[in-house]
Amino acid sequence: MKSLGIIAQKGGAGKTTLGIHLAVRAGLDGLKVLIVDMDPQASATAWWQRREQVLPALIQADGKSLSSVLAKAKIEGYQLLVIDTAPHSSFDAISCARLADKILIPTRPAVLDLDAIGTTTELVTDVGVSAQVVLNASPPATRFGETKIVTEARQALST
């Protein structure tokens, strides 16, 4: 079983949207997927309750219960867990970072959003987990290539 944590200390980065899209895609590819909704706003849960389909499965959890949720999911044969965390919840984010196989850090390609990922990158660096930044909600490329804001965001992230 693999687990993918989605962490961003800034709200509005697109954690839930990214997580549910990845979970649905993995399910369509034949994986048994569980979304773990750790956000008290429960947006992933609200989305799941509106769906006509029951897959991917979903469970709500917090940092204290995450370890047992992962253990139970492994026993139940899940192949992928997508863990959606809340912004500004350091304990849950740290728990997720410690237990997940990989972390995605979504950010929008705007200066204020890029400035805000520093605390999240420090958190995953301190824990020592593999992480990647995902440019989310980016304007689409034109026939001439990616937009200036995306190019500048990529350059800022590479330094």
What is the rounded distance in angstroms from the CA atom of residue 103 to the CA atom of residue 127?
Answer: 11
CA 150 – CA 67 distance, rounded (Å)? 36
Domain range summary for the chain, segments of one domain joined by +: 2-158
Written as one letter, the residue type at 65 is: S
Prediction pTM value: 0.90
Instruction: Determine the Cα–Cα distance for residues 33 and 58; give it in Å rounded to an integer.
Output: 9
CA distance 105 to 136: 9
The better pLDDT of the pair 28, 88 is held by 28
What homologous superfamily is domain 2-158 in, according to CATH?
A: P-loop containing nucleotide triphosphate hydrolases (3.40.50.300)
pLDDT digits (tens, 9 = 90+) for 79-117: 999 999 998 768 899 999 999 999 999 999 988 888 888
Which of the two residues, 111 and 65, has the higher pLDDT score? 65
Other beta carbons within 10 angstroms of residue 113's beta carbon come to 20
Which band of pLDDT confidence, cut at 50, 70 and 90, is reported for residue 35? very high
pLDDT digits (tens, 9 = 90+) for 116-145: 888 888 888 888 888 999 998 888 888 877
Give the SS3 label for residue 76.
coil
